[in-house]
Amino acid sequence: MINEESPGEGRVASPARASVLLLVILLALMGWELHGMTGGFALVGWFPWLDAQGGGDQDWRIALTWWPRLATALIAGAGLALAGVLMQQVLRNPLASPTTLGVAGGANLALMAASLFAPALMRIGPEWVALAGGAVAMGLVFILSWRQALSPLVVVLAGLVVNLYLGAVAMVLLLFNQETLQGLLIWGAGSLAQDGWQDAAFLWPRLLAGLMIAALLLRPLRVLELDDASGRSLGVNLAGLRLAALATAVFLTGTVVSVVGLIGFIGLAAPNIARLLGAKRLGSRLVWAPVIGALLLAVTDLLLQSVDAWLPTLIPTGAMTAALGAPLLLWLIPRLRLEATAPGSGETRWPRTDRPRRRLTWMAVALLPVALAALFSGHVAGEWDWWSGTAPVWEWRLPRLLAAAGAGVLLAVAGTALQRLTGNPMASPEVLGISGGVTIFLLLGIVLIPGVSLPLLLLLGVAGGLAALTVLIALNARSGFLPERLLLTGVAITALAEAVRAVVLAGSDPRGQQIVAWLSGSTYFVGTGQAIAVLCFGAIAAGGVLLLSRWLDLLPLGAPISRALGVPIAGGRLAVLGVSAVFTAAATLVIGPLSFVGLLAPHMARLLGLSRARDHLIGAALIGAVLMILADWIGRQIQFPNEIPAGLVASLIGGTYFLWALRRL
């Protein structure tokens, strides 16, 4: 269970004081902006109706763009914060929000799909399209976590997976429709740009309706602070109450997303800030969280407008709120009290085989026909060929096959090491945020360093992975690396990577198509030399990590036992984490950050009965190679002559498995 820690004694802060401080900052920024636009502190800049009467171009710009943008930011921030309060109260989970539960991602994907395939729906009303997408995403999260009674950890983990899964689908749409969706990219990243008052006029009645419904539900919602048995004894229809509150939250989120796109973390940050500042009662949070959310979003947007002239590219406000909200979540995680699960509680459920070498031999033998089939079968010159010995095989297919196999080995080994080290079967480079750290550094290197070389990119990727690991260690060392904290830290790092990705894709970088291809995990640009290097590195890495197999057998048993058996605890953990970061960086360079192979391959190896670390590592490496080879082959065939990158195919396959695994918890 996740609960907020008790506030310290002698607290002087309060939601009111924090709101006043934010309001003062907002007014100062407003004055600075209006001074820069009007050349002085004339009253005309502060009153839009006077601006309109002034008749000048600058006055009209202030009246019809600047003021509507500020109003829209205030209303959208309040709406998202109110949605966050309702979600957290219903789920008894302070980490629930439109972002972490996948609601915003579902709404965004629905709008993207409707814009491409059913534009008539957009004419009916984009808010209803967004509402349907958000409702489906939240329904999926509920289905996945229902058997665990909506456990906070499972809910957040399910929201993370749904977000990644929907992001992979959105990336497929973007890859094939980049020119069509370029404008939607900027909007989808959270753009508050306005050309009139229509958006604010659209939002405020819906926010008012949400506030009225929340007020009507205030007294029943307080019952949810008790256990379900107590609530039923008081005569409350808990199912209907939860449905009404969550429907209101989804409606508010869908409405905001349909107008301004994805605004990250306001729905998470504002309710928790209000709670940490002393708003413990639900009524207080329903008042102060929307106020704080409105001011937070408005201040962030004005700060962004103030520095926009010095920035090389347009930064959407939603991406900036995610970039600011991720560190806030990292700051919040240590202030949450989590109940530790018993170590090794899930170990007995895995099957074990008495003949692991025989199974490994059969797995190695099976790899050969899979590789041959992927190499020699497929479309050639518009026709299917079952056994092609022509040039495309050796010039085009072989490098991609070798690169995919090498990346699969690296991710599988990294995922296996992380799962055994943390004792958490849901750990992987993607879920723990290591892939996110690699992505941040690689994107910044691609955009900021002209003519960046492959060795430098590898160094940047390793640095990003190590930076993510440093954050993981810093926030989790004192708690003993609880699986819950590790996963929540990974959520925050992944969110930060998504913010950087949104900024890069929303810009006008001419390398946008290549960046999208890399983010989606395409092997199209891999040459023969790079492919051989990746495969050799994967083979050497898999062999080298076997030297750590004894540590990986003992570390999950706990620090006292491991230390008694001669394992250096701190050094062993750091070595395993460092190796995982290097492997993840090398694989991400080739296959992108979206793959779930680091999660799926270790799971499949354990399901085959490979329980010892050495057997587990070898089996996962073989499965990872097979999965990536198949993903690359399927991606080449399914939409021929168009291609779906191997990373996206693997993430869709792995994400589906992850969803199934969560359902069976």
Judgement on whether residues 188 and 323 belong to the same structural domain of the protein: yes
Task: Quote the domain boundaries for residue 474.
Answer: 347-663
Would you state the pLDDT for residue 341?
A: 45
Q: What is the mean pLDDT of residues 280-288?
A: 89
The percent of residues in the chain predicted with pLDDT above 90, rounded, is 5
Contact call for residues 172 and 648 (beta carbons, < 8 A): yes
Query: What 8-state DSSP symbol labels residue 556?
Result: G
In whole angstroms, what is the distance from residue 488 CA to residue 431 CA? 9
The predicted model gives 142-169 an average pLDDT of 75
Quick one: 253 and 359 in the same domain? no
Answer with the residue of higher pLDDT: 83 or 454. 83
CA within 13 Å, CB half, 392: 14
**Span 176-185, mean pLDDT?**
64
Pair (154, 69) in one structural domain: yes
Number of other residues whose CB lies within 10 A of the CB of residue 116: 14
Banded model confidence at residue 363, pLDDT cuts 50, 70, 90: confident
Q: 353 in a domain, yes or no?
A: yes
Residue 232: CATH number of its domain: 1.10.3470.10
The verdict on residue 341 lying in a domain is no
Q: Which of 85-89, 434-438, 593-597 has the lowest mean pLDDT?
A: 593-597
Q: Which residue has the higher pLDDT, 392 or 567?
A: 567
Tell whether 308 and 425 lie within a shared domain: no
Q: Is residue 338 part of a domain?
A: no
Q: What is the pLDDT of residue 388?
A: 52
Say whether the peptide bond before residue 205 is cis (omega within 30 degrees of 0).
Answer: no
Radius of gyration of the chain (CA): 26
Per-residue confidence at 432, pLDDT binned at 50, 70, 90? confident
The pLDDT value given to residue 517: 65
Same domain, 439 and 496: yes
pLDDT at 212: 92
Helix ranges (DSSP H) in 382-527: 391-392, 398-422, 434-448, 454-476, 483-506, 512-519
Mean pLDDT of the chain, nearest integer: 76
Region 368-390: mean pLDDT is 69
Rounded average pLDDT over 331-337: 68
> What is the pLDDT, as a whole number, of residue 606?
84
Among 332, 361, 376, the domain boundary falls at 332
What pLDDT score does 463 carry?
85
Q: What is the mean pLDDT of residues 285-296?
A: 92
Q: Is residue 337 part of a domain?
A: no
Q: What is the pLDDT of residues 6-34, one digit of tens each?
A: 444 444 458 888 889 889 988 888 888 77
Q: What is the pLDDT of residue 5?
A: 47
* Residue 339, domain member (yes or no): no
Strand partners, 385: 378
pLDDT score, position 343? 39
Residues 359 and 326 in one domain: no
Give the chain's largest Cα–Cα span: 86
Q: Are 70 and 30 in contact (CB under 8 A)?
A: yes
**Is residue 342 a part of any domain in this protein?**
no
> Which residue among 297, 332, 367 closes a domain?
332
Domain annotation covers residue 340: no
Model pLDDT, residue 43: 45
Same domain, 103 and 205: yes
Of 43-52, 85-94, 567-576, least confident by mean pLDDT is 43-52
Whether 198 maps to a domain, the answer reads yes
Residue 608 has a pLDDT of 84
Same-domain check for residues 430 and 567? yes
pLDDT band at residue 228 using 50, 70 and 90 as cut-offs: low
Amino acid 12: pLDDT: 45
Q: How many domains is the chain partitioned into structurally?
A: 2
Position 4 pLDDT exceeds 50: no
Do 492 and 393 belong to one domain? Answer: yes
Tokens coding 231? 């609530």
pLDDT digits (tens, 9 = 90+) for 85-131: 998 888 877 777 887 788 878 888 888 888 888 888 877 777 788 88
* 244 and 391 both lie in a single domain: no
Q: Which residues pair with 3 in a beta bridge?
A: 337
Give 147-162 as a 3 state SS string.
Answer: HHCCCHHHHHHHHHHH
> Residue 78: pLDDT band by 50, 70, 90 thresholds?
very high
pLDDT of residue 654: 76
pLDDT band (50, 70, 90) for residue 537: confident
631 with 646: CB under 8 angstroms? yes
| Residues 380 and 266 grouped into a single domain | no
Check whether residue 276 and residue 360 sit in a common domain. Answer: no
Torsion of CA 422, 426, 429, 433, to 10 degrees: -90
Convert 400-439 to b/e letters by CB count within 10 Å (16 or more is b): bbbbbbbbbbbbbbbbbbbbbbbbbbbbbbbbbbbbbbbb
Domain boundary among 332, 361, 386: 332
pLDDT value, residue 17 = 87
Q: What angle do CA 376, 381, 383 make, to 5 degrees?
A: 70
pLDDT of amino acid 295: 92
pTM of the model: 0.73
